[in-house]
Structure 1
Amino acid sequence: MTNTASQIQRQAAPAAVLRYTAFDLNGAGGNPAGVVLDARGMDEARMQEIAAEVGYSETAFLIEEGERRYRIRYFSPLAEVAFCGHATIATAVALAEREGPGDVVFRTSAGEVPVETRVEDGRTLATLTSVAPAVRAVDDADLAAALTALRWDAAELDPALPPRIANAGNDHLVLAAGSRARLADLDYDFEALGDLMARRGWTTVQLVWRESETVFHARDPFPPGGVVEDAATGAAAAAFGAYLRALDLVAPPARVRIDQGEDMGRPSRLLVDVPAGATSGIRVSGTGALITN
């Protein structure tokens, strides 16, 4: 029997998959991502296979298009994702360690995302700028279904931070808990929430609790990607920055800190810079490091 070109491609030598953590906190925690720096010749099926084998919430695949310009695609273990913040940071750090710090441009399925890298205190810090964001109301029936799947009551929400759909590359439902204890007690119906999110095209649910005017704690269920919870979600952080600006909850220019991953034992820190202008991209910064064990 004759093999097709696609079959031959899949039987080729395994791709070199790097493993990096992004948004770590003083060298600990963070969200791991797979990084394939040269994905030339790979089809979608092969990328999906690799992402499933790696098992992280996302793996990024790069194809160079010019000097410090790349096409980047992101795959969860179950499906392709238009934009992933932590895998973007991880990939930028991996490139900086090989090519030196500086500016790169990633062409994502959501649009172009410029990233700056620099070294601070011996660590590589990367800053992405999102595509133009948007924030809109959430349908009442969808909100009720999400709360039911989360096993949350509407009375447990923070009325000062109303539910919205925020997008800075993909859609995220933003829900604010009225207490840190409510946020810490995450025990949701994986199938029900995943089905709802898949129908509505939501990438994660951005669950937050406000510690202060500029410090938030977050948790991000990601059942459409086959992941119970993300340890650090750069795409959701960018969307949340847009949410804060749209609802006049910060006065731009402003910097917001998001602490995530604490409740799952992977402490992560995301720094979100919110510029003025309704359509200006949101900047999200964090460190990254090669996973060696």
Structure 2
Amino acid sequence: MINNAPEVLRYAAFTTDPAGGNPAGVVLDATGLDAAAQLAIAAGLGYSETAFLTPGPTERSFAVRYFSPLAEVPFCGHATVATAVALADRIGPGELLFQTGAGPVPVSVTAGPDALEATLTSVEPHVLPIPQADVAEALTLLGWAAADLDPSLPARIAYAGARHLVLAAATRERLADLAYDFDGLARFMTDRDLTTLQLVWRESVGVFHVRNPFPVGGVVEDPATGAAAAAFGAYLRTLGETTPDAVLTLHQGHDLGRPGRLRVELRAGDARVRVTGAAVAIPADVA
């Protein structure tokens, strides 16, 4: 039992609609809460992640921990966006610094056309090859065939705070039809320290549709995934599939009925990736 339970805020990230995007829990003052208490709050809320803040050395810096219903994760993009906007609602827009399990993450909050928007700057990313045997096993667990993949976007592990296996579908129909072995994929991902699978379909040079199975977090699918979006930006740059300066649009959550939009920015001379999205508070009467 948790005594003096803190206030848990609910925000939807990468959307201006409280019923869209990806909901996150936000605890703005987690002082005195140990890991077990934080995990219990995250599990009780049931969102893919809940962020827990403690004050940092300066007024607008914070230590942040992220918990899924099953475990702590080093970094979560949508909960970062949600938390930054929740803070801005109280202390005003501007620059923030989050000390995360993956490293320092600067976040800037500004007024968007319909809601506050937060831009996170990832830790330095990297992209790694993956054995073909692992790709084949992942496809089997997804119920996909090798012919379902887009050969122009080969499988890779991409990291920008958390590890994601990027698999590109050849068609939008393949991406839309997602029914996988939950327990089997969770074991596969745990063995390879993967946070999600980043399943993508390329609509055009700068527009992608994405889905993110998240069984290791106890969630079938993450509706909008900022950490994976940052990793995907690094993936495209490494493969030479984008220009040094580029802005990408990722559509996610449409197949779940929670549409969201993620803006990914690459800058020449800076390895880090910027991810921008709006966020709004979720009223008590919205599920």
TM range (shorter): over 0.9
**Preserved CA contact (<8 Å) 1:254 1:273:** yes
Deviation, 1:193, is: 0.5
Partner of 1:159: 151
Partner of 2:251: 259
Deviation, 1:28, is: 4.8
Residue by residue, what CA displacement relative to the aligned partner does 1:230-260 show, whole Å, maximum 9, x if unpaired? 1100000000000000000000210000000
1:123 aligns with 2:142: no
Runs of 4+ in 1 over 3 A off after TM superposition: 25-28
1:68 aligns with 2:60: yes
* Match of residue 181, structure 2, among 161, 164, 189: 189
Q: Secondary structure at the match of 1:282?
A: strand
- 1:131-170 alignment, distance < 5 Å: 131-170=123-162
Deviation, 1:36, is: 0.1
Distance 1:70 1:79 in 2: 21
- 1:244-255 alignment, distance < 5 Å: 244-255=236-247
Percent of paired sites with the same residue: 59
Distance 1:239 1:158 in 2: 18
* Match of residue 26, structure 2, among 35, 38, 52: 35
Partner of 2:165: 173
Partner of 2:200: 208
Deviation, 1:280, is: 1.6
1:47 aligns with 2:48: no
* Match of residue 228, structure 1, among 220, 240, 250: 220
| Unaligned 5+ runs, structure 2 | none
Distance 1:223 1:86 in 2: 17
**Aligned-partner residue type, residue 215 of structure 1:** V
Partner of 1:24: 15
Partner of 2:96: 104
Distance 1:261 1:122 in 2: 19
**Aligned-partner residue type, residue 195 of structure 1:** R
Residue by residue, what CA displacement relative to the aligned partner does 1:125-161 show, whole Å, maximum 9, x if unpaired? 1000000000010122211111110010111100010
Residue by residue, what CA displacement relative to the aligned partner does 1:27-67 show, whole Å, maximum 9, x if unpaired? 65110000000000110000000000010000000001121
Q: Secondary structure at the match of 1:285?
A: strand
Q: Secondary structure at the match of 2:53?
A: strand
> What is the aligned-residue RMSD (CA, Å)?
1.0
Name the count of aligned residue pairs: 283
Q: Secondary structure at the match of 1:61?
A: strand
**Aligned-partner residue type, residue 125 of structure 2:** P
**Aligned-partner residue type, residue 132 of structure 1:** E
Deviation, 1:122, is: 4.2
Partner of 1:57: 48
Partner of 1:6: none
Partner of 1:273: 265
* Match of residue 275, structure 2, among 284, 287, 292: 284
Identify which range, 156-165 or 23-32, moves more after superposition.
23-32
**Aligned-partner residue type, residue 49 of structure 2:** E
Distance 1:129 1:12 in 2: 35
**Preserved CA contact (<8 Å) 1:38 1:62:** yes
**Preserved CA contact (<8 Å) 1:25 1:267:** no
Residue by residue, what CA displacement relative to the aligned partner does 1:150-174 show, whole Å, maximum 9, x if unpaired? 0101111000100000000010000
**Aligned-partner residue type, residue 208 of structure 1:** V
Name the larger-Rg structure.
1
**Preserved CA contact (<8 Å) 1:25 1:269:** no
Distance 2:279 2:48 in 1: 16
Deviation, 1:276, is: 2.0
**Preserved CA contact (<8 Å) 2:246 2:266:** yes
Please give the TM-score of this superposition, normalised by the length of structure 2: 0.97
| Unaligned 5+ runs, structure 1 | 1-9
Please give the TM-score of this superposition, normalised by the length of structure 1: 0.95
**Preserved CA contact (<8 Å) 1:164 1:174:** yes
Distance 2:61 2:16 in 1: 28
**Aligned-partner residue type, residue 185 of structure 2:** L
Deviation, 1:11, is: 3.9
